[in-house]
Amino acid sequence: MSTANLLVIYVAVALGVLCAAGIYSELRRRKFGPAHPEDRVFRCTKCGLVYTDDADVDRSRCTQCGKLNLPFEF
């Protein structure tokens, strides 16, 4: 084998190992990482109360004063 072929094989194997380690690391992070919350966070513009509601709700009524609010964006 020529030196060029050995160098190409070495680089390809090294890149393959790095890709496999990255994929393995991402799968572990997803498995043990915190799950996405199923609720949305709302903050009342009238009284300032912070509360949660279901994820499928676009606007939610404040439990303290009754005003409709949009979800709070972090």
Tokens 């979800």 locate to 71
Q: Which of 9-23, 24-38, 54-68 is predicted with the least confidence, judged by mean pLDDT?
A: 24-38
Percentage, residues of the chain above pLDDT 70:
93
Alpha-carbon gap, residue 48 to 63, rounded angstroms? 11
Question: Do residues 42 and 54 make contact, with C-beta atoms less than 8 angstroms apart?
Answer: no
Q: Is 31 helix (H, G, I), strand (E, B) or coil?
A: helix
pLDDT of amino acid 37: 67
Look up the pTM and report it.
0.49
